[in-house]
Amino acid sequence: MSHIHLPDGVLPVWLWASGFVVVILIWMILLRVMKKEELTRRLPLLGMMAAVMVLGASVEIVPIAYHVNLTVMSGILLGPSLIFLATFVVNVILALFGHGGITVIGLNTLMFSIEGALGYFLFHLFWRLLRRLSLALFLATFLALTVATFSMIGVVSLGTPHYEELIHQEEGRGMIGFEFGKEKGGHQKEGVPEKEVNLKRFIAIILSLGFIGWVLEGIITALIARYIHRLRPDLLRLEKESR
Amino acid sequence: MIQLSYLDYLAVEGKSFLHRLSPKLKIIGMIFVLFAIVTVRNLPGLFLLYIFLLCLYFIARVPMRIFPLTLYPLIFAVLFIFVSQFQIRFILLVFLKVLCGSTGVVLLLATTPYPSIFSVLGKVLPSTFVMALFLTYRSVFILLTVLEETQHALYLRGGVQWKHPWRSLTNISNAFGHLIIKGIDASEKMYESMVLRGFKGKVHHRRE
């Protein structure tokens, strides 16, 4: 829910193009800042966690159109810089399966990265404050997903003039547009043209479905972390902070 | 995603003209399809594009078993419909854009092996990124095997039952945890074996 499942051609070009520009800039900065040997050494781990996210995204909870992202879990295991690279790879692969458009890969990468990086920082903050693994992870996941969903809503709302344009385009022209264009013409005669884009309804639906998803993902992430902590506590790197 | 291995099999074993076409040309074709999706805003134009892609789908003899993959993104497109006042024209426009995009992509994947797509991308994208794509692709297959084994074990022991949602959720989460641990172990082994074979941060592709 926290990323854009929009098809290609729905968002305005300037919006998705700026998504790509920002992602490329961040990539360039990260590749310069990170040590090459370190990056090469961790590439297989990055690939594996990206694969886990891809598999998580393929398990669909159809009634609410939700799937687990596992971005927060991956963010904790990979760290805030590698999660950015991983989410880009995940979005490319998901787009190749029609899971979100190809043109929105840049924007989706930003949403996913917000989720992963914020989840990482929030988890470490809550762990220091609460010292309870499950609770810290649940809260971190819930909040990270909430913020990512709101940023997704923000991005979608930036395209409002473009959606209006898409709705009104070809009114009264074309085979199908003609029939419905006539109906709309009736409304517009009365004066001020009616606003056709209803973002409030979209936001209400996304937030209500999203809430179920945030809780579900929060619980699943907390349970996964509990399992990992039981078997391989070293992966979560909590010892340093415990001292 | 379980279809991934089947798609890969189709791409490698297929014998149609689209399978034989160079991956570079197919990627250029996909870029044209994307360009059309972004720029075309009338229903007849998009409808024609969809029909053209469907014709290619059948000419390339891609099995119908894969066809539902092209419809899958419609689940998410339905959410976006709520932005509008349910104008039929807008709904059809969004649905056709979704269908054109997903059909084009499935067609590309079912007729071109992933490594060929990545090697074409490697000519324009940084090697680190292409390397990460390759490793993710490889890892998906490794994890799919682990996932299938874990799924069998879960079902055989009655691990997922709607009557016991909390227990089922715990078991599913444990399965994901198991998948992650196995995946991390496998990634360490993979790195060691790559270094043994002389890996220095780049994978070289054989030209075919």
Give the tens place of pLDDT for each residue, B74-100. Answer: 877 777 777 777 778 888 888 898 899
- Cα separation of B109 and B207, whole Å? 19
Q: CB distance from A25 to chain B under 8 Å?
A: no
Among chain A residues, the shortest Cα distance to B130 is held by A89
Q: Share the mean pLDDT of chain A.
A: 81
Least confident of A35-49, A73-87, A188-202: A188-202
Query: Pick from A102, A197, A224: which is nearest to B34 by CB?
Result: A102
Asked if residue A150 has pLDDT above 50, the reply is: yes
Asked if residue A182 has pLDDT above 60, the reply is: no
Average pLDDT over residues A35-64: 81
The predicted pLDDT at position A187 comes to 46
Provide the phi-psi class of B201: left if phi over 0, else alpha when psi is between -120 and 50, else beta.
left
Return the percentage of chain A with pLDDT > 70, whole number: 80
Chain B interface, best mutation among A43, A82, A92, A220, by max B CB count within 10 A: A43
User: Which residues in chain B show pLDDT less than 70?
Assistant: 1-3, 204-208
The more confident residue out of B19 and A174 is: B19
Altogether, the residues listed in chain A come to a count of 243
The predicted pLDDT at position A74 comes to 93
The predicted pLDDT at position A128 comes to 92
The confidence band for A180, taking pLDDT boundaries of 50, 70 and 90, is very low
In this prediction the ipTM stands at: 0.84
Closest Cα partner for A6 from B95, B109, B31?
B95
Asked if residue A186 has pLDDT above 60, the reply is: no
Query: Pick from B93, B128, B177: which is nearest to A31 by CB?
Result: B128
The predicted pLDDT at position B88 comes to 83
Residue-wise pLDDT for A4-21, tens only, equals 666 777 788 899 999 999
| DSSP code, position B85 | T
Cβ-Cβ contacts under 8 Å between A and B: the total is: 251
Is residue A175 within 8 Å of B43, Cβ to Cβ? yes
- Min Cα separation A14/chain B (Å): 12
- Cα separation of B166 and B185, whole Å? 28
- Phi, psi for B180 (deg, rounded to 5): -65, -45
**Residue type at A86?**
A
The predicted pLDDT at position A60 comes to 64
End-to-end CA distance of chain A: 37
Displacement of CA A3 from its chain's centroid (Å): 3
Residue-wise pLDDT for A90-139, tens only, equals 998 888 777 778 888 999 899 999 999 999 999 999 999 998 999 999 99
Q: CB distance from A3 to chain B under 8 Å?
A: no
The confidence band for A196, taking pLDDT boundaries of 50, 70 and 90, is low
User: How many other CB atoms are found less than 10 A from the CB of residue B142?
Assistant: 18
Is residue A86 within 8 Å of A49, Cβ to Cβ? yes
Among chain B residues, the shortest Cα distance to A1 is held by B76
Return the percentage of chain A with pLDDT > 90, whole number: 35
Q: CB distance from A10 to chain B under 8 Å?
A: yes
- Cα separation of A188 and A193, whole Å? 5
Burial of B122 (0-12, 13-18, 19+ CB in 10 A): buried
User: How many other CB atoms are found less than 10 A from the CB of residue A17?
Assistant: 14
Average pLDDT over residues A48-52: 92
Say yes or no for a CB contact (<8 Å) between B85 and A198: yes
**Residues in chain A within 8 Å Cβ distance of B159:** none
Is residue B75 within 8 Å of B25, Cβ to Cβ? no
Write down the H helix ranges in A190-236. 199-231
pTM listed for this prediction: 0.84
Closest Cα partner for A51 from B186, B201, B197, B168?
B186
What are the CA-CA distances from residue A204 to residues A68, A149, B208 (Å)? 21, 12, 52
Please give the angle made by the CA atoms of A55, A9 and B81, to the nearest 5 degrees.
75
The predicted pLDDT at position A189 comes to 45
Say yes or no for a CB contact (<8 Å) between A51 and B77: no
B40: Cβ contacts below 8 Å, ≥ 6 apart: A9, B46, B49
SS3 for B132?
A: helix
Asked if residue A226 has pLDDT above 90, the reply is: yes
The predicted pLDDT at position A18 comes to 93
The confidence band for A227, taking pLDDT boundaries of 50, 70 and 90, is very high
